[in-house]
Structure 1
């Protein structure tokens, strides 16, 4: 085993043990009493948070992925600057400012929060889709053309499978960003675990703060790990082997 891999595994193990130790300490100290005493309220807020993330992330994937593929096609490359800069605007503006701007147009509520989170998560998916498609070895594409594959066959059999790890990296980034940013939805009546977080900030109460922040953090970790498993399941063994050799 290489030193880099050994150090990485050791670091992950230490972080995991520290996290478990912190959770045990916080539980024994009564910081999660709010959750244990009000499980129904927590369940509602958790479900709202999950709904915000799921809808906005799904919309971002459904829209960004096809556009990313489209602007890598030769005839549509001239539109690349427009879509990437448009997505950059959504990412460059602070998330709370995006919420405020959309709130002025649509008012408050779930759909306003979903739209704001959608705008905030488009760029990672769009950019990684473009970069992933472009990173495919040109020799593979030339070989596929030489074998008589059509452009559609090349896209679905060569380009997307080889670009999948990079594309999934963008999706993971967008989802994790969404989970953290969704806490701000509370400010515009969108619900979610931000209710506990901002109540804790206003009251200077660690019980409220940790009851919201810790589940959000765990949700982000689980989502990232789950998407890594999805990526691994969707990526062929040959591509995984090639990546391990490169690393």
Structure 2
């Protein structure tokens, strides 16, 4: 008598061969599910490091001014809230010019990637390149001759100078989209506007935001030249320090401009992280 051997459930022997009943095979264990947890978009180092460095620099600058022996010319240049006025004007110039850059460059970039206007894209890019290739001070001088001294000429000059990065990144981001994804979206019945709003633009957001970030920093730097057209801003402090050879005034205007550019770049980097669609992030 053969020894009793135990077989797995559902298995039996036919003429010495083992068979398993159909549908009763042991199911393999499913693979372990991938972790759904995503890394945080913003780390505490990203939030704290640069603001802390800027705070230290500004505190050291304030302490140095408290110890400095300023003459009457320097005191007059910094008196009556003039520093805060120039800083506020600089922020206003940057914000207004960036707003107009966005409402001009992004819609224009979208139109130039449509089939009907695609042939006009090289000409539009050439014009944008000319605007940025022209020396900013020369462009501002021409605008002052045409429009007169004031904030209007300065704003138009800043806008012309900053259109290129946003326009070129918008076109590049939309052109980089996978055509098969767009065809699939059209295949399920989405309209052209639906494909643009729900597929094309979300996929192009990282490149567009990178262009906006570049334009913001450019605007902060270019706004210092608004002083030559009567537009105000921190450029007034810089030119006053240079023309009167007053190093404290020159240093204050320069440090505030650099600090503002770094702060704007930091805020733009945070916006770039928060506005990027979740679906474009790689899960861990």
Work out which of the residue numbers 90, 101, 110 in structure 2 matches 1:69. Answer: 110
Q: Which residue of 2 aligns with 1:4?
A: none
What displacement does 1:21 show?
5.5
Task: State the match for 1:6 in structure 2.
Answer: none
1:28 offset after TM fit, Å? 2.7
Aligned residues: 232
Matches of 1:128 and 1:52, distance apart in 2: 23
The Cα shift of 1:146 comes to 2.2
1:227 maps to 2:262? no
Q: Is 2:58 aligned against 1:28?
A: no
- 1:88 corresponds to 2:129: yes
Q: Which moved more, 1:202-211 or 1:168-177?
A: 202-211
Q: Is 1:171 matched with 2:206?
A: no
Aligned pairs for 1:43-122 within 5 A: 43-122=84-163
Once the two structures are overlaid, the 10-residue window that deviates more, 172-181 or 15-24, is 15-24
Contact 2:51 2:263 in 1 (8 A): no
So what's the TM-score if we normalise by structure 2? 0.74
Query: Could you tell me how far apart the structure 2 residues matched to 1:45 and 1:90 are?
Result: 26
Of 230-239 and 82-91, deviating more is 230-239
Structure 2 unaligned spans of 5+: 1-44, 69-74
- Residue 129, structure 1, aligned to residue 170, structure 2: yes
- Distance verdict in 2 for CA 1:181–1:110, change over 3 Å: same
Q: Name the CA distance, whole Å, in 2 between partners of 1:120 and 1:72.
A: 22
Q: Is 1:144 aligned to residue 185 of structure 2?
A: yes
Aligned equivalent of 2:235:
194
Instruction: Determine the structure 1 residue equivalent to 2:250.
Output: 209
Q: Which structure has the larger Rg? A: 2
Residue 181 in structure 1 maps to residue 216 in structure 2 = no
**Are the aligned partners of 2:128 and 2:164 in contact in 1 as well (CA < 8 Å)?**
yes
Pair 1:187–1:22, CA change in 2 (3 A)? same
Does structure 2 conserve the Cα–Cα contact (< 8 Å) formed by 1:31 and 1:210? no
Q: For structure 1, which runs of at least 5 residues remain unmatched after alignment? A: 1-8
Q: Deviations over 1:96-148 (max 9, x none)?
A: 01101111111111001001101101111110100111112223212212222
Counterparts of 2:268 and 2:59, CA distance in 1? 27
Inter-partner Cα distance in structure 1 for 2:112 and 2:196: 13
